[in-house]
């Protein structure tokens, strides 16, 4: 099945710039991996998979990271078929970028656009949960300003989880320096 045209990609990227500095910078691939482990161990991960891929059981449970160092500047990329994320060596070592690339893992194997409304809804849900309401609010505002389409279903699922199972203290401890609410 062919993917839908990625018509809002430029506006999705543009909306992220002012949020990047609000998210925690990570010092090494080890820290990236630890953060990714927290994201995948949190119940929201599997919930978002189910919202995006109803009836499909193969939720990704692990991901490998590497750094792009060849060029001075390059864009981070996610190979959803191999479960590998390559991060730009400077800009990419940041929780916002890690969550962006990990969101691609949840919009797997479908006809949906790479940065379509399902992507932005899922990304916002992960940001609220793992980076807190500050970065979330700024990104929501930027999406509105840039007329980025957002699917509300993943966000509704996140809000419901927040009521049923607040962010655990263990998670909060391993993602220190972030605001959660
Ligand atoms: Zn992307």
In the prediction, which pLDDT does 151 show? 97
Tell how far the Cα of 161 is from the centroid of ligand 1, in angstroms. 25
Percentage, residues of the chain above pLDDT 70: 88
Cα(102) to centroid of ligand 1, in Å? 9
Within 10 angstroms of residue 166's Cβ, the number of other Cβ atoms is 12
Structure confidence at residue 68 (pLDDT): 82
Q: How far apart are CA 73 and CA 145, in angstroms?
A: 27
Of 6-20, 47-61, 158-172, the least confident: 158-172
Q: Give CA–CA dist 173/131, Å, rounded.
A: 13
What residue ranges in the chain does DSSP mark as E strands?
64-68, 77-79, 84-88
Residue 61 is classified by DSSP as -
Q: Is pLDDT of 178 > 90?
A: no
Q: What is the 84 CA–ligand 1 centroid distance (Å)?
A: 13
Cα(97) to centroid of ligand 1, in Å? 9
The DSSP-derived string for 87-106 is EETTTTSBHHHHHHHHHHHH
Mean pLDDT, residues 104-130: 92
Nearest to 109 by CA among 51, 55, 39, 53: 53
Q: Tell me the per-residue pLDDT of 144-169, one tens digit each, with 9 for 90 and over.
A: 999 999 999 999 999 999 888 777 65
Ligand 1 geometric centre to CA of 16 (Å): 11
Ligand 1: distance of its center to the CA of 104 in Å?
A: 7
* Of 7, 25, 19, residue with least CA distance to 142: 19
- pLDDT at 173 > cutoff 60: no
- Residue pair 121/154 in contact (Cβ under 8 Å)? The answer is yes
- Between the alpha carbon of residue 22 and those of residues 31, 71, 94, 130, the distances in Å are 17, 25, 10, 12
Q: Does the pLDDT of residue 179 top 50, yes or no?
A: no
CA of 100 to the centre of ligand 1 (A): 6
For ligand 1, the distance from its centroid to the CA atom of residue 78, given in whole angstroms, is: 7
Task: Specify the pLDDT at position 165.
Answer: 77
Distance CA 100, CA 122 (A): 9
| pLDDT tens profile 69-95 | 766 556 788 888 788 999 988 889 999
Distance 7 CA to ligand 1 centre (A): 12
Q: What was the pLDDT predicted at 15?
A: 97
- Alpha-carbon distance 66 to 30, whole Å? 10
- Helix then strand then coil, % of the chain, to nearest 5: 50, 10, 40
- What's the average model confidence in pLDDT over 20-34? 95
C-alpha Rg value of the chain to the nearest Å: 15
Is the pLDDT confidence value at 181 over 80?
Answer: no
Is residue 113 within 8 Å of residue 3, measured between CB atoms? yes
């Amino acid at each position: 099945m062919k993917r839908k045209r990625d018509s809002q990609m430029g506006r999705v990227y543009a909306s992220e710039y002012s949020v990047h500095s609000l998210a925690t910078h990570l010092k090494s691939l080890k820290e990236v991996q630890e953060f990714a482990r927290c994201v995948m161990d949190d119940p929201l991960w599997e919930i978002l998979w189910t919202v995006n891929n109803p009836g499909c059981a193969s939720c990704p449970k692990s991901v490998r990271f590497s750094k792009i160092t060849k060029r001075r500047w390059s864009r981070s990329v996610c190979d959803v078929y191999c479960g590998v994320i390559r991060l730009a060596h400077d800009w990419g070592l940041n929780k916002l970028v890690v969550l962006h690339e990990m969101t691609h893992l949840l919009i797997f194997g479908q006809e949906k656009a790479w940065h379509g409304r399902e992507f932005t809804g899922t990304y916002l849900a992960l940001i609220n949960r793992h980076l807190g309401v500050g970065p979330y609010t700024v990104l929501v505002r930027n999406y509105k300003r840039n007329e980025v389409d957002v699917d509300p279903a993943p966000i509704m699922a996140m809000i419901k989880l927040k009521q049923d199972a607040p962010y655990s203290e263990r998670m909060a401890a391993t993602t220190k320096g972030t605001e959660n609410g």
